[in-house]
A and B are shown apart, each in its own frame.
Chain A
Amino acid sequence: MADTSGRWLYAIARELDTDALTGLRGVAGAPVHVVEDAGLVAVVSAVDLAEFGAEPLKRNLEDLDWLAATARAHDAVVTTVGGAAPAAVPLRLATVCLGDDRVRELLIRRRPDLESALALLTGRTEWGVKAYADPDALAAADAPAEPGGQGGQGSKGGAGTAYLLRRKAQLSAREKAERNASAHADRLHRELAALATAARRHPPQDPKLSGRKGWNVLNGAYLVDDAKADELAAAVERLGGEVEGVRLELTGPWPAYSFAGVEQGAEEAAR
């Protein structure tokens, strides 16, 4: 059976309380098990290579329902592992090995990277902070008072000219609002990063994907000492009230997805 199935990797931990994994199921509903080598514990589950091999996986990733179910199953296991160990390094989605032995080889080969990642993550938690700017509110707050309002008094230059002038003013107010929002986002990130051990900005989310109104001007991730978590929450509260038209949202606690890949360069160097 081990010959026809792969191993999906969820997370790597140390001092894992394996009792917490009892009955836990991962992607495709398969029960999870651990692969250990000299203190490092990888949490994995068997997956059918007909569904999770390189080629089928590529196709399946384009299926939103499949992707959603898989991502949630992956995250549920990673979260449980994180709760049962001092620290857990989450794996990038869709890391599959051909068997437990190959998993063990990875643990041996990447031990220094994994050890330093675990050291970085111990006692710290990832939080997300997103800032949304409402373009209309920002532009309105910034726009010069509009003479003529509805354009009813535009008789001098003609209604058409008045419309064009108004439109031009709106556009430049919008551009200015965009610049201001982006500068504000940079400042927010700096202030939040000052509270964090490590900080990272993800690309802004497409409103079509998030279903949220407004520009996502900041999509930040912050690795924060657990003792400082309240301070971060307070900062988000305070900064969120600072500028009219910019709203902040705190997400988390997250498994430290955004800070587990710090040693990516080492992989290439080793090859």
Chain B
Amino acid sequence: MTGELEAAAPERRIALVDLLDRVLAGGVVLSGEVTLSIAEVDLVHVSLRALITSASTLERSLSGE
């Protein structure tokens, strides 16, 4: 209950890009069976950028600009 309320609280409506800066590049690294390596984090960033760039290009072309 508390958790759901906090998750929905407006002050925690944070920009995804700020959050990704932190959760991908920050946090303590413990070697679980799955752990993102630095190289993988970089790959996520690269593919994100490509994804968003192509999405905004698509939007522009759809809106006829």
Chain A residues near B (Cβ < 8 Å)? 6-7, 9, 12, 20-25, 52-54, 57-58, 61-62, 64, 67-68, 71-72, 74-77, 79-80, 83, 89-98, 102, 106, 110, 113-114, 117, 128, 202-203, 205-206, 208-210, 219, 221, 251, 254-255, 257-261, 263-264, 267
Contact = CB atoms under 8 A, between A and B. Distances in A.
A89 B33 contact: no
Interface string B18-44: 111111111111111111100010001
Contacts of B56: 208
Most buried by A among B36, B40, B51: B36
Contacts, number: 158
Contacts of A76: 3, 6-7, 12
24 contacts: A6-B33, A6-B34, A21-B3, A23-B4, A25-B3, A64-B51, A71-B23, A72-B19, A76-B7, A79-B12, A92-B23, A93-B24, A94-B34, A94-B35, A95-B27, A117-B28, A205-B17, A206-B49, A209-B17, A258-B26, A260-B26, A260-B27, A261-B28, A267-B29
A61 B44 contact: yes
Contacts of B1: 22-23
Contact of A77 (B3, B40, B47): B3
Given A6-B34, A75-B19, A97-B33, A67 B44 contact: yes
Contacts of A209: 17, 48-49, 52
Contacts of A113: 28
A12 B32 CA distance: 14
Contacts of A258: 22, 25-26
Contacts of B33: 6, 54, 96-98, 102
B62 interface: no
A10 to B, nearest CB: 10
A117 B27 CA distance: 11
A93 B36 contact: yes
B2 A24 contact: yes
Contacts of A80: 2-3, 6-7
Contacts of B25: 202, 258
A90 B28 contact: yes
A94 B36 contact: yes
A130 to B, nearest CB: 8
Given A22-B2, A260-B28, A264-B29, A205 B21 contact: yes
